[in-house]
Amino acid sequence: MNDKIEVSIVINAPVARVFAAVSEPSEFGQWFAKGVDGTFEVGEQPVIDEGDYGKFRLAIVASESNRYFAYRWVSGGAFVPNGFLGDPLGHPNTLVEFFFEEVPEGTRVRVVESGFASLPEAYAKANYRDNVGGWGYQMAQLKLFVEPK
Amino acid sequence: MSNAQLFSALGDVNRLDLLSRLSPDTPRTLSQLASGAGISRQGVRKHVQVLADANLVRLEPKGREVLIRANPERLDEGIEMLHALTRRWQVKLEALKSFVEEKG
């Protein structure tokens, strides 16, 4: 899968604490969203409130204690500016995966969102340009994103 | 032109390599691209066509040859989309870190 983004961060807290902050709706609603309606059990479809970005329905696809949490959604915020409350699984969607790993400083959380190539243009359009770079810079960035790891 | 087509065109090691050897200012011929590509001339032709269909390169007929020119504007659209999404996740993870570390 080449159409993905990946971001990670190290948090100074035990894995169990960080996993709870992601996988429990009452906690998730305090840092990711303004609130969550529903549960994060696998197979459920809770709605998260992202304030100005709108409300989004998630489809929870996996929750493995202290290791892995994943959902699908019709990619939020930047490309569906008014939210999306339909069944995510019935539309072109992206998969969001959280990986949790114990490190000496605490916990590394890695987020991988993939599936952008499946999104129709209406969802995946961006018309503005970075003025920073030339072709070489753009190629370097591109390789970081799309080269098989 | 959909970004799905863009990402699909980019999702190939040979095409990425060809793109990295093209420039918007100095067009190259198929023969020039094929030499040193490590794949057959026919293979290069096929990959260039995929890049052209996705608007990542422009083809300019000149005599019996075709000049191939990179179109970085098209690439910018896809990159900017990924940048915006990446920035968004970075902000989210910073929020998670603050939330966990401050609440304990």
Dist CA A62 CA A129 (whole Å) = 36
Dist CA A145 CA B83 (whole Å) = 10
State pLDDT tens for residues B57-99. Answer: 999 988 888 999 999 888 887 777 777 778 888 889 999 999 9
Dist CA B7 CA B11 (whole Å) = 6
Lowest-pLDDT range, A38-42, A112-116, A134-138, B99-103? A134-138
Residue A90's pLDDT is 86
What is the residue whose two structure tokens read 């940048």? Answer: B83
Report residue B37 as tokens: 């590509």
Say if CB A69 and CB A63 are below 8 A apart. Answer: yes
> DSSP letter at B70?
E
Q: Of the candidates A116, A121, A135, which has its C-beta nearest B23's C-beta? A: A135
A11 contacts in chain B (CB < 8 Å):
96-97, 100-101
Q: Which one of B25, B50, B82 would you mutate to disrupt binding with A, by most A Cβ within 10 Å of its Cβ?
A: B82
Residue, of A134 and A136, whose pLDDT is higher: A136
State pLDDT tens for residues A43-81. Answer: 999 999 988 778 999 999 999 999 999 999 987 544 566
Provide the shortest C-alpha distance from residue A77 to chain B (in Å).
Answer: 9
Q: Is B81 on the interface with A (CB under 8 A)?
A: yes
